[in-house]
Amino acid sequence: LLAEDNQVNQKLAMRILDQMGYRADVASNGIEAVESIERQIYDVILMDVQMPEMD
C-alpha cells in the first residue's frame, strides 16, 4: 500500500514500484489508508508522515 497525498510523489513511487515488479494500491489520505488495511492484508505499507484527513 502506498499512502501518499501528493499526486506527483504518488506517480513517481508507483512508477518505481512497477519497474521493480511490484503491484501496489494507493491511498490519498489517512482515512483511505485505514480503510484499505481493513479490507486487505499488505506485506508493506509505504506511508507519508503528514496526511490529510488523518495522519
Q: Phi first, then psi: give them for residue 47, nearest 5 degrees.
A: -135, 135
pLDDT score at 54: 66
Q: Indicate the length of the chain as a whole number.
A: 55
Residues in the chain predicted with pLDDT less than 50, given as ranges, are none
pLDDT score at 55: 60
- At 16, list the grid cell: 518505481
Residue whose C-alpha is closest to residue 42's, from 26, 31, 28: 26
Extents of the domains making up the chain:
2-47
Say which residues have a Cβ less than 8 Å from residue 52's Cβ, sequence separation at least 6.
5, 28, 29, 30
